Chains A and B, each alone.
Chain A
Amino acid sequence: MELLGLYNYFVFAVLLMVGLYCILARTNIIKSLIGLTIFQGAVFLLYISMDKIDGGTGPIILEGAPADTIYANPLPQVLILTAIVVGISTTALGLAVAVRIREAYGTIEEDEIQEMDREQ
């Protein structure tokens, strides 16, 4: 049971590993960006896992709710909510760079681009 309570964190670790491996091992720029979104998703999962309290509910205080209602921690939620939107904006910027690289080099494979740079 003790390990089951840590399952979220193990999944976080595995996703982080998969994301990092995808960024480092894949030479395709778009694939690296997808790896980056997995990496990001892992961090989001870590933060949101921390907000949960047993027997709790979402942090929306409704009138007439019993006084002893347990609410989830709102702070990680605020951080991640804005981080998701910032994440997509930066990913879009990365994709724009990838498109320009493709137009300049005709490929989005890092090794081929390095080859071309060396030849010049």
Chain B
Amino acid sequence: MMTIVFSLFLLTMLVLVAVAILRTENLFTAVMLSGIFSLLMAANFFVLDAADVALTEAVIGAGISTVLFLGALALTSEKDRSPPVGSWVPLISASALGAVIIYAVMQAPRLGDPNAVVHNHVAPWYLEKTPELIDVPNVVTAVLASFRGYDTLGEVFVVFIACMGVMSLLGRVRPRKDSIKLTEYEERSRNLRHHLIPRIVGKMLVPFIVLFGLYVQFHGDFGPGGGFQAGGLIAAGIILYSLLEGDWRGRELVPEWFTSLMVAMGALLYAGVGVVCMLKGGHFLNYSVLFEDPIKGQHIGILLVELGVGLTVTGVMITVFHAFARRGVR
């Protein structure tokens, strides 16, 4: 009963926050509210038994997304100058969409119905066969990295390509040490070096965030977690350091050639595992052939693939953050 009341509360809050985002004219407020929106969404996912997704949404949606939006705001403007009442077309099309969807969901199976179609197709097979074929406790990781490894490989490459896009748009200007001095750069860049308490407290958090990220990375087979969440967490730790100390020092901590290497090596490691499977006589990304014992092959395969995902996601998030941060100083 308590869970139902709690989830009703969370869902209602989601709607309220979304309407508040729509109504505000200050973009800074809108970005902060969208961080709250993501956090509420993460809590909702947790109530709906999706711990892996909740972790991802909390890290990526509430954490990194907010920072990227703020970085973009610093480079554009904080005021939304849309005319208050535009044409009627948006209102009519949004209402029409809403009406169609509400009509459609009236026939949907109610929440938690075990006889819903979605629970009676391939999902029972995954739940039944995972202990036998792959033998990792977390079925989400098993499906993500092994059964549907092709999908995940594709997603990793989408993330990789998006990173290439951001870098080609915002440029990777070589640091011109002659034209701009470090002290001058620090004066112009935004950081929290002059705010003692956030700086000291924030810096203490960084190693623990990175440590937790590593735990999530390598414990993903057994509990909620995996490469996507860990990548976001480790990147969040590094981004926090860069926000506190200025992005120049952040790049000294994790040099750019290293993040670029991570982006490329992660995707290559993932695809490479698939190629090794082929060389060993199996199908692409069929880890069972990696070792004599197919179960052990699956374990090692999933571990390597998740490592590839983690490397790429960490690298992409840090690279994108620095692309925005550096643009602000030029």
A residues at B contact (CB < 8 Å) = 2, 4-22, 24-28, 30-31, 33-35, 37-38, 41, 44-45, 48-54, 56-63, 70-86, 88-93, 95-100, 102, 107-109, 111
- A112–B91 Cα distance when bound, in Å, is 22
B144 adjacent to A20 (CB under 8 Å)? no
Within 8 A of A (CB), among B149-208: 151-152, 155, 158-159, 162-163, 165-166, 169-170
User: Of residues 62 to 114 in B, which have CB atoms within 8 Å of A's CB atoms?
Assistant: 64-65, 68-69, 71-73, 75-77, 80-83, 86, 89-91, 93-95, 97-98, 101-102, 105-106, 108, 110-114
A-B complex: 4 closest residue pairs judged by Cβ atoms: A5-B110, A24-B90, A89-B162, A9-B105
B111 touches A102 (CB 8 A): no
Say whether B50 faces chain A, with CB atoms less than 8 Å apart. yes
CB distance from A18 to the nearest CB of B (A): 4
Stretch at the interface among B115-123, B238-246, B268-276, B285-293: B115-123
Candidate in A13, A30, A91, A92 with the most chain B CB atoms within 10 angstroms: A92
In whole Å, how far is B23's beta carbon from the nearest beta carbon of chain A?
10
A81 engages B228 (CB within 8 Å) = yes
Residues of B within 8 Å of A111, CB to CB, are 83
A50 and B52 form a contact (CB under 8 A): no
Cα distance A13–B165 when bound, in Å? Answer: 32
Nearest residue, chain A, Cβ from B77 = A108
In whole angstroms, how far apart are the Cα atoms of A62 and B245 in the complex?
43
> Whole-angstrom distance from the CB of A8 to the nearest CB of chain B?
5
Determine the distance from Cα of A100 to Cα of B169 in the docked complex, in whole angstroms.
Answer: 7
Task: For A82, give its contact among B77, B130, B152 (CB under 8 Å).
Answer: B152
B51 close to A (CB within 8 Å): yes
Return chain B residues, CB-CB under 8 Å to A30: 27, 69, 72-73, 76, 80
Q: B123, A74: Cβ atoms under 8 Å?
A: yes
Report whether over half of chain A's contact residues are helix, strand or loop; otherwise say mixed.
helix
Interface centre among B80, B151, B170 (most CB of A within 10 A): B80
Known contacts A31-B82, A97-B169, A102-B76; is-contact A81 B144 (Cβ 8 Å): yes
Report Cα–Cα, A18/B313, bound state, in Å: 30
Q: How far is the CA of A72 from the CA of B316 in the complex (A)?
A: 31
Bound complex: CA of A96 vs CA of B321, how far in Å? 11
Q: Write out the residue numbers on chain B whose beta carbons fall within 8 Å of the beta carbon of A80.
A: 50, 53
Q: Is the CB of A5 within 8 A of B111?
A: yes
A74→B131 CA distance, assembly (Å): 14
Complex interface: chain A residues within 8 A of B19 (CB): 18
Shortest Cβ gap from B152 to chain A (Å):
6
Question: Is B45 located at the chain interface by the 8 A CB criterion?
Answer: yes
Instruction: Tell me the complex Cα distance, A22–B17, Å.
Output: 13
- Give 8 new A-B contacts, CB below 8 A, not counting A9-B105, A14-B98, A61-B127: A44-B41, A53-B49, A53-B119, A72-B49, A74-B123, A88-B60, A89-B163, A96-B323
Which residues B16-60 have CB closer than 8 A to chain A? 18-19, 21-22, 27, 30-31, 34, 37-38, 41, 44-45, 48-53, 56-57, 60
Q: Which residues of B contact A85 (CB under 8 A)?
A: 56, 60, 155, 159, 228, 231-232, 313
CA distance A20 to B91 in the complex (A): 9
Partner of A77, one of B53, B95, B119, B163: B53
A86 to B159, CA, bound (A): 6
Q: Cβ of B60: which chain A residues have Cβ within 8 Å of it? A: 84-85, 88
Residues of B within 8 A of A52 (CB): 48-49, 111-112
A–B complex contacts, Cβ < 8 Å, 18 sampled: A12-B101, A13-B105, A17-B95, A18-B18, A21-B91, A34-B27, A41-B14, A41-B61, A54-B112, A56-B112, A57-B49, A60-B140, A74-B126, A74-B127, A81-B56, A86-B159, A88-B65, A108-B76
